[in-house]
A and B are shown apart, each in its own frame.
Chain A
């Protein structure tokens, strides 16, 4: 069975400092992995996705994540935090049960990112 563990429920950084949001996954086969962001009162927006191509994935707003199979990790990073990055971030794995669809998703519990001025 697939699962996702987000190691921190809350991360607080200062503006301009690096961001690291940690995620470990469990999968019986090669997974598709995603990071979604949820701003207050907004829907879930895709930041980036890994689907067995390059292991370093670049997303929107300067975020990137590296797929490390040996560590079963898919940590999200950003070199310099901005106030607008404050949101909740979800690490997500697809169960891949449908060949063309990536929609059957298993979510982590989420990490709330706070950015201090």
Chain B
């Protein structure tokens, strides 16, 4: 069964450092997403990406965040200067046309 894969599973970084979270969506999917879940809180939408550009972004997705699809397979989320409050589980998801979202297992980001 096709799946979305995320690496690393856990990332620890110092405050102020840049981090890149990586995702490999399902190969024939067209829409790509990042969500995050702060411990004990809801899963929140960050950004959607289609046709090599951001389709929509939430208020959380400020100038510190960026996404990229550098090649035909990877989809990355970069946080330029991490803050303590960026600590969360980050989920990547992808969909095709008229299909539900398939999620990766998540990357747990811990900012210290």
CA–CA, A101 to B31, complex, Å? 7
Contact of B43 among A41, A101, A102, A107 (CB under 8 A): A107
Chain B, residues 19-48, CB within 8 Å of chain A (1/0): the string is 000000000001101010000011111001
For chain A, which range describes its interface: under 10, 10 to 19, 20 to 34, or 35 or more residues? 20 to 34
Contact check, B95 vs A43: say whether CB atoms are below 8 A apart. Answer: no
Number of interface residues of B (CB under 8 A): 29
Contact check, A44 vs B91: say whether CB atoms are below 8 A apart. Answer: yes
Chain A residues, CB < 8 A from B102: 46
| Contacts A43-B105, A108-B42 given; does A103 touch B48 at CB 8 Å | yes
Q: Is the C-beta of A67 less than 8 angstroms from some C-beta in chain B?
A: no
Q: Is the C-beta of A90 less than 8 angstroms from some C-beta in chain B?
A: yes
Count how many pairs of residues, one from A and one from B, have CB atoms less than 8 Å apart in the complex. Answer: 67
CA–CA, A106 to B67, complex, Å? 20
Contact check, B91 vs A109: say whether CB atoms are below 8 A apart. Answer: no
Contact check, B104 vs A43: say whether CB atoms are below 8 A apart. Answer: yes
CA–CA, A89 to B61, complex, Å? 25
Chain A residues, CB < 8 A from B99: 102
Contact check, B4 vs A46: say whether CB atoms are below 8 A apart. Answer: no
CA–CA, A58 to B35, complex, Å? 26
Contact check, A110 vs B56: say whether CB atoms are below 8 A apart. Answer: no
The residue among A36, A43, A97, A106 with the most chain B CB atoms within 10 A of its own CB is A43
Which 4 pairs between the two chains have the least Cβ-Cβ distance? A100-B97, A43-B105, A44-B103, A107-B43
